[in-house]
Structure 1
Amino acid sequence: MYPVDILNQRHEKFVLWVPASDALAAQPPVLVIVTTASKSDAFNEIGRFPLVHSDDKVGLWVLDPASISPPLEVGAYRYWFEIQDTSPENRGTLLVTDPFAFTVDYSKVVTSIGDSARYQPASVVKLRDSKLWACDMDGTETRRPVVPDQAMLPGNNHLVIYELPTSWAKVGNDARGDDVDVGTFTDVLALFDADSDGRRFSSVAAVRDEAILTELGINALELLPAADAKVKDEWGYATAHYCAPDYDLGSSSDLVRLVDKVHSQGVRLLTDVVMAFGHDPYSHIDFGNFHIRPDMEASNPDSYQYHSDGQLRDGYGGSPWRYVRSVQSYDPETGDGNSAVRPSWAFHHCHLARWMADFGVGGLRLDSLNNVGNYDFVRSYKEWAWQLYNARYGGATDPSKFLVIGEELSMPVSMVHRGIVNALWNEPWQGRLRAVILGESANGDNFEDTVRKLVNCTLDNLDGTHFTDGAQAVNYITSHDIEGYRKERLYNFLQSNGIWDVEKRAKLAFALLLTSVGIPMIFAGEEFADQMDRSVDMGKKQSDPVNYARKNDGGWRQALFGYVANLVKFRTKCPALGEDDTDFFHVDRSRGGRIMAWRRGRAGDEGRPPVIVVANLSDEDTPGPEYVVPNWPDKEQSGWREISQGRDVPAEWVGREPLLAWEAKIYTRWTEGA
């Protein structure tokens, strides 16, 4: 059972929700159902069956499979709904995918239709016991993942997120003639399971023989949009079928196996959701109720971005969702037959129920909130996500084990305080980090203040307010948005700025990322300084793939991975790094303020020893055999260790160790299990 009515209705009947049902009275939608033909690129059509308008649910069209004659046999079927196109580019009669399809099939063509522009991918369902069952393309019925014990999952203040696209590189060419392929859910599983070879990347030793992400120690996996996208052979933001895992990435069963594995290792699954625009069936089934053409409705406030000074919303080749509209219709959430419903709100709430129930999602990243344009809807989506999460555990939930992150690069932190989202991507952090590792200041601050705001994002005044908790800010060195000034991969950024000792600066960048206030996020491949093999002037977010073969180069990249893995494990476990308390107790102004020391964690709390970071942000090593840091907290206490090198510090050397140029040393007396 699902907490929304329409997903339960789909178990009993073929259903199509069309709020503008009066437009279909003359020509009702038709179910077109087929079977696959062995050794053929085509489908075998079984028949076409008109749907019937539900007597008590306005806008709901249904067909009981038991009414189909001759009766259907047990097995998996492909189907479409035949409708009259309602989009501004009307193309007449179309075969459209079920908007709530759990599995879609791009693999075969419809020879009886001929013109591929007139049909979309087939929906897939299984008939058994006169009911319709979710299944993979081969008819395997899907199950839900095991609900993880909350105690096993990390809290938000100790998350380290790994942002993973599935556009990866490998030696040799694929069918497109490039040295890339699409990593599937099974390939992602191999990053956590040394006994799993992967699928398309089993030829890459690091994927086949290791468990890279388990070794790295991250505790949150963020999949870039995992719902099915219109584009093929790559991940993308052109979401088309919101309830179905992406066809290129694998089946629902593949995704469930991945979820079970990461949960067994105490790793939360986050997924990216695109709700500013869609390439979905409703753009043809009922365009006017679900979508908008901003250029055709200039007087409609729904046509404009939120912080835009009159900038129209952008569909990026798709259609912006229409959020400022209410109609009298069947409510697919509650099942009420005739009530005031916002069609797009209800649709997005329903597919969220699918992902939360069937794939154990433990957090969300909402893409491009400015382009969504309606923060009332965003708030409703966030609150619905929390209701679904709380229901997963019967209401007895730990609120630190779930969050909804928004991307809004104008940084309206007030959105967090107003409860619209729980956290924001902290893009200014990226700019500060990249300035600091070059020895520059950023955003009009002097160098010292640049470092202070980098280390403690709660000091940064953004939209007249500021973050009040580290769990409200997601910090990153690099993200999938690698196009634009100083956004490219770290390796290429450093080289383009004349820095050739990439290992040293990369280690400094990760030392700052993993010890600063905020949730650190690592873009896939940065942990071993992957580089861009295509154009550095990126016009597309993911046109350069991740090359996991570089991870074990036997040299500095392998050493960097080990360094980062050590700090990731420290970040996920050390109590002081889950707190916001920060105190800069040393700024060496005799060296231009380029050597600084700060404490992370509460002072004087013997049960939770602090972390001390000492950073030399200059081109010069400290002279002589020692560098004295005055006012070292708890200097007389025993048990100090330097984390990045994994060594004990003799009592006489506490606060006196030298520093190399561009080096950060990380100290603590905390030990795991103490």
Structure 2
Amino acid sequence: MKKRVLTDFDLYLINEGTHYKNYEKLGAHVMEIDGIRGVHFAVWAPNAKSVSVVGDFNNWDGKRHQMKLLGESGIWEIFIPGLDEGELYKFEIKSKYRGYKEQKADPFAFYFEVRPKSAAIVYNIENKHKWQDVEWMEMRKKKNWFELPIAIYEVHLGSWMRVADDGNRFLTYREFADKLIPYVKELGFTHIELLPISEHPLDASWGYQTIGYFAPTSRFGRPEDFMYFVDKCHQNGIGVIIDWVPAHFPKDAHGLGRFDGTCLYEHEDPRKGEHRDWGTLIFNYGRNEVRNYLISNALFWLEKYHIDGLRVDAVASMLYLDYSREPGDWIPNIYGGNENLEAIDFLKKFNEVVHQYHPGVLTIAEESTAWTGVSRPTYLGGLGFSMKWNMGWMHDTLEYFSKDPIFRKYHSNNLTFSMLYAFTENFVLPFSHDEVVHGKRSMLDKMPGDMWQKFANLRTLYGYMYGHPGKKLLFMGSEFGQWREWNFDDSLDWHLLEYEPHRKLQRFLSDLNNIYKKEPAMYEVDFEWHGFEWIDFHDSEQSIISFIRRAKKHDDFLVFVFNLTPVPRFGYRIGVPKGGYYREIMNSDSEIYWGGNLGNMGGVYADDIPHHERQFSLNLTLPPLSVLIFKPE
């Protein structure tokens, strides 16, 4: 009697939407049944008239290996003796409706052919890699990331670095382990965030149009090679965050769209089921099996690939039924509102399950609206994310710094406004890939002035970012002053590091990261008001601001002073909380950063002169376009 792979209980949980390891049952799995080795295939296609497995092993003939429907579950299965790893396959699906017949990629495939080919590959990811990150994984469970430094280096693997003398080919996952990890470690970042590495057919989508949700892209190697990369990150004390895309999927014929001839994963009505701007389809979050597919996929990356965080893409597009739609082109919810109640429920469940099964893992929302409680627990009415990108801060800050300094005095509110809402969410401050494409110019090229001023402005901008409450994210290339906009199809301009200004900007960023990780005042109290206090934001005429950042231990603090014009200021006085010596632990105008080397000779003693409603004050020299950081001793 052949034992069943999919039990009645499995089928019940999948249909209920609570089988969080459904990837162990659906898809293709090499196994022995009754002493016979072969491959078990299973797929959800409730509106199919017939489903077959096709591949090289049967000349892609759908008549050869037809699958069996399991009751009313909508799940089809077959065990094919003699097959093993490495077989190419798809599911040939004939629908009950419209005479539909299509060869579909396995939604649960662990490995795919290299694009433009699109067949799944039978692959066993168990026991392919011996993990050596036990210490990291145990430590992660106990981490309170809210009170720890997080400096994220955002990377698109296809364009970080290429091998020019080998046809401009991609690096492999293992080559990234040898090159990217030491680089990130030397720069002092705590995490690497990868633009989507799940399998996708179109390079130009940057990974955001996913076909293989359970497969790391084969562009850079095999699944175990990606495991090796993550493992090496952990062994070097670096966390790995991946971009995860549950908001939409592409229309490719072999993908999830009209999977069984009907809108199975998406909505039938294009007013709910299609993003016309992106040419993609929207998941039907109200369907149990679809919710199950996505939540189990999130858990899969955390479980099988030891991923430390999921940055969820395009959350705003999920929350609002009228997102990027004209009046009349969307369907209100049952209460007449524009909130997508099913998506909201899905996001809450996703966050609850992830944090239940994997404590210490981060979920981060890319959410650009004023939706309240994105990073608040679900039991308090929030969506349950760990953190949220602060898109408002990013926009206002870049708008300010891109202006000629002569006009900045009229726009100081761009710098101060963020403090009115800085503690309403657990914010990440992002300068991401989206800010250096489509005519927005690179970070360095956004800066006004001549070449010296551009570099000075950018150093000051990064100093402001690291001084401001919130965790940090910077896109690759921005750390050394890439001049060109990011091009997904080409390597970063590493040759720029042959030139002093770029090399010294990179050193500044590295030193900034190391100060950040060393000083609790810069990260311990990021999400509550008592970690920040203004010294002065009224001097808009001279475009100078100053503030204090405090650690949990209240007398552990740093003083930040920004001169946002190219005019040096001498004898500039700011109030401070106590007397004594204030060491200048960072001066962005230092010659080691390609500055003019103006400053305060390493530090200054506080005068017993009240100023800014404080008992003591510092008499400072402020270099042009600079950030100074002082630490009392």
Equivalent residue in structure 2 for 1:31, among 53, 58, 65? 53
Which amino acid counterpart does residue 313 of structure 1 have in structure 2? H
Would the alpha carbon gap of residues 258 and 386 (structure 1) be closer, same or farther in structure 2, given more than 3 Å must change? farther
Equivalent residue in structure 2 for 1:61, among 76, 83, 97? 76
After superposition, what is the alpha-carbon deviation per residue over 1:421-462, rounded to whole angstroms, capped at 9, x for unaligned?
333221222222223334579xx9964433223xxx4423xx
- Aligned residue runs from structure 1 range 468-617, under 5 A: 468=424, 472-483=426-437, 487-494=440-447, 501-532=453-484, 542-543=487-488, 545-547=490-492, 549-550=494-495, 552-578=497-523, 579-580=525-526, 581-587=531-537, 589=539, 592-601=541-550, 605-606=554-555, 609-617=556-564
After superposition, the CA RMSD in angstroms is 3.7
- Aligned residue runs from structure 1 range 321-470, under 5 A: 321-324=283-286, 326=287, 342-373=288-319, 374=340, 376-381=342-347, 383-392=349-358, 397=359, 401-417=360-376, 418-420=381-383, 421-438=385-402, 447-453=411-417, 457-460=418-421, 467-468=423-424
Query: How far apart are 1:5 and its partner, in Å?
Result: 3.4
Which amino acid counterpart does residue 292 of structure 1 have in structure 2? H
Kindly indicate whether the alpha-carbon contact (under 8 Å) linking 2:162 and 2:490 is maintained by their aligned counterparts in 1.
Answer: no
In the alignment, the residues of structure 2 paired with residue 382 and residue 188 of structure 1 have an alpha-carbon distance, to the nearest angstrom, of 34
Kindly indicate whether the alpha-carbon contact (under 8 Å) linking 1:643 and 1:667 is maintained by their aligned counterparts in 2.
Answer: no
In the alignment, the residues of structure 2 paired with residue 551 and residue 265 of structure 1 have an alpha-carbon distance, to the nearest angstrom, of 27
Partner residue in 2 for 1:93: 101
Query: How far apart are 1:18 and its partner, in Å?
Result: 2.6
In the alignment, the residues of structure 2 paired with residue 275 and residue 570 of structure 1 have an alpha-carbon distance, to the nearest angstrom, of 36
Point out where structure 2 has 5 or more consecutive residues left out of the alignment: 6-18, 32-38, 320-339, 593-600, 608-616
Partner residue in 1 for 2:13: none
Instruction: Report whether the alignment pairs 1:191 with 2:179.
Output: yes
Query: How far apart are 1:44 and its partner, in Å?
Result: 9.5
Would the alpha carbon gap of residues 371 and 523 (structure 1) be closer, same or farther in structure 2, given more than 3 Å must change? same
Query: How far apart are 1:229 and its partner, in Å?
Result: 0.7
Would the alpha carbon gap of residues 515 and 99 (structure 1) be closer, same or farther in structure 2, given more than 3 Å must change? same
Would the alpha carbon gap of residues 545 and 145 (structure 1) be closer, same or farther in structure 2, given more than 3 Å must change? farther
Would the alpha carbon gap of residues 404 and 33 (structure 1) be closer, same or farther in structure 2, given more than 3 Å must change? same
Partner residue in 2 for 1:15: 41
Instruction: Report whether the alignment pairs 1:239 with 2:239.
Output: no
Partner residue in 2 for 1:658: 621
Alignment partner of 2:219: what SS? Answer: coil
After superposition, what is the alpha-carbon deviation per residue over 1:192-214, rounded to whole angstroms, capped at 9, x for unaligned?
45xxxxxxxxxxxxxxxxx2111
Kindly indicate whether the alpha-carbon contact (under 8 Å) linking 1:85 and 1:91 is maintained by their aligned counterparts in 2.
Answer: yes
Kindly indicate whether the alpha-carbon contact (under 8 Å) linking 1:639 and 1:648 is maintained by their aligned counterparts in 2.
Answer: yes
In the alignment, the residues of structure 2 paired with residue 267 and residue 382 of structure 1 have an alpha-carbon distance, to the nearest angstrom, of 28
Kindly indicate whether the alpha-carbon contact (under 8 Å) linking 2:43 and 2:106 is maintained by their aligned counterparts in 1.
Answer: no
Point out where structure 1 has 5 or more consecutive residues left out of the alignment: 37-42, 109-119, 127-132, 194-210, 304-311, 327-341, 461-465
Instruction: Report whether the alignment pairs 1:254 with 2:220.
Output: no
In the alignment, the residues of structure 2 paired with residue 428 and residue 44 of structure 1 have an alpha-carbon distance, to the nearest angstrom, of 52
In the alignment, the residues of structure 2 paired with residue 594 and residue 649 of structure 1 have an alpha-carbon distance, to the nearest angstrom, of 22
Query: How far apart are 1:125 and its partner, in Å?
Result: 1.8
In the alignment, the residues of structure 1 paired with residue 463 and residue 55 of structure 2 have an alpha-carbon distance, to the nearest angstrom, of 57
Query: How far apart are 1:241 and its partner, in Å?
Result: 0.7
In the alignment, the residues of structure 1 paired with residue 100 and residue 427 of structure 2 have an alpha-carbon distance, to the nearest angstrom, of 48
In the alignment, the residues of structure 1 paired with residue 366 and residue 582 of structure 2 have an alpha-carbon distance, to the nearest angstrom, of 44
Would the alpha carbon gap of residues 510 and 387 (structure 1) be closer, same or farther in structure 2, given more than 3 Å must change? same
Query: How far apart are 1:403 and its partner, in Å?
Result: 2.4
Which amino acid counterpart does residue 415 of structure 1 have in structure 2? V
Kindly indicate whether the alpha-carbon contact (under 8 Å) linking 1:436 and 1:450 is maintained by their aligned counterparts in 2.
Answer: yes
Kindly indicate whether the alpha-carbon contact (under 8 Å) linking 2:561 and 2:629 is maintained by their aligned counterparts in 1.
Answer: yes
Kindly indicate whether the alpha-carbon contact (under 8 Å) linking 1:551 and 1:561 is maintained by their aligned counterparts in 2.
Answer: no
In the alignment, the residues of structure 1 paired with residue 153 and residue 144 of structure 2 have an alpha-carbon distance, to the nearest angstrom, of 14
Query: How far apart are 1:216 and its partner, in Å?
Result: 0.7
Would the alpha carbon gap of residues 100 and 508 (structure 1) be closer, same or farther in structure 2, given more than 3 Å must change? same
Would the alpha carbon gap of residues 156 and 218 (structure 1) be closer, same or farther in structure 2, given more than 3 Å must change? farther
After superposition, what is the alpha-carbon deviation per residue over 1:546-598, rounded to whole angstroms, capped at 9, x for unaligned?
51514622401000000000111222332111114211213573x71512221
In the alignment, the residues of structure 2 paired with residue 550 and residue 480 of structure 1 have an alpha-carbon distance, to the nearest angstrom, of 23
Equivalent residue in structure 1 for 2:145, among 152, 155, 167? 155
In the alignment, the residues of structure 1 paired with residue 25 and residue 99 of structure 2 have an alpha-carbon distance, to the nearest angstrom, of 32
After superposition, what is the alpha-carbon deviation per residue over 1:257-292, rounded to whole angstroms, capped at 9, x for unaligned?
111111122221111112222136321423422123
Partner residue in 2 for 1:281: 255
In the alignment, the residues of structure 2 paired with residue 445 and residue 54 of structure 1 have an alpha-carbon distance, to the nearest angstrom, of 70
Alignment partner of 1:285: what SS? Answer: coil
Query: How far apart are 1:652 and its partner, in Å?
Result: 7.0
Would the alpha carbon gap of residues 382 and 146 (structure 1) be closer, same or farther in structure 2, given more than 3 Å must change? farther
Would the alpha carbon gap of residues 241 and 35 (structure 1) be closer, same or farther in structure 2, given more than 3 Å must change? same
Alignment partner of 2:275: what SS? Answer: coil
Alignment partner of 2:547: what SS? Answer: strand
Equivalent residue in structure 2 for 1:634, among 574, 578, 584? 578
Would the alpha carbon gap of residues 458 and 585 (structure 1) be closer, same or farther in structure 2, given more than 3 Å must change? closer
Which amino acid counterpart does residue 7 of structure 1 have in structure 2? E
Alignment partner of 1:520: what SS? Answer: strand
Which amino acid counterpart does residue 536 of structure 2 have in structure 1? H
After superposition, what is the alpha-carbon deviation per residue over 1:454-505, rounded to whole angstroms, capped at 9, x for unaligned?
xxx4423xxxxx6435xx21212343353457x431122126x766632211
Query: How far apart are 1:413 and its partner, in Å?
Result: 3.8
Alignment partner of 1:255: what SS? Answer: helix
Partner residue in 2 for 1:104: 112
Instruction: Report whether the alignment pairs 1:134 with 2:125.
Output: yes
In the alignment, the residues of structure 2 paired with residue 363 and residue 6 of structure 1 have an alpha-carbon distance, to the nearest angstrom, of 20
Which amino acid counterpart does residue 473 of structure 2 have in structure 1? M
Which amino acid counterpart does residue 259 of structure 2 have in structure 1? I
Instruction: Report whether the alignment pairs 1:4 with 2:21.
Output: yes
Partner residue in 2 for 1:334: none
Instruction: Report whether the alignment pairs 1:649 with 2:598.
Output: no
Alignment partner of 1:272: what SS? Answer: strand
Would the alpha carbon gap of residues 379 and 225 (structure 1) be closer, same or farther in structure 2, given more than 3 Å must change? farther
In the alignment, the residues of structure 2 paired with residue 357 and residue 233 of structure 1 have an alpha-carbon distance, to the nearest angstrom, of 29
Count of paired positions: 547
Query: How far apart are 1:319 and its partner, in Å?
Result: 2.3
Which amino acid counterpart does residue 21 of structure 2 have in structure 1? V
Which amino acid counterpart does residue 277 of structure 1 have in structure 2? H
Which amino acid counterpart does residue 275 of structure 1 have in structure 2? P
After superposition, what is the alpha-carbon deviation per residue over 1:521-545, rounded to whole angstroms, capped at 9, x for unaligned?
101110001121xxx6xxxx85464
Which amino acid counterpart does residue 366 of structure 2 have in structure 1? E
Partner residue in 2 for 1:222: 193
Kindly indicate whether the alpha-carbon contact (under 8 Å) linking 1:31 and 1:79 is maintained by their aligned counterparts in 2.
Answer: yes
Would the alpha carbon gap of residues 124 and 402 (structure 1) be closer, same or farther in structure 2, given more than 3 Å must change? same
Would the alpha carbon gap of residues 75 and 631 (structure 1) be closer, same or farther in structure 2, given more than 3 Å must change? closer
Between the two proteins, what is the percent identity of the paired residues? Answer: 17
Kindly indicate whether the alpha-carbon contact (under 8 Å) linking 1:430 and 1:478 is maintained by their aligned counterparts in 2.
Answer: no
Alignment partner of 1:323: what SS? Answer: coil
Partner residue in 1 for 2:329: none
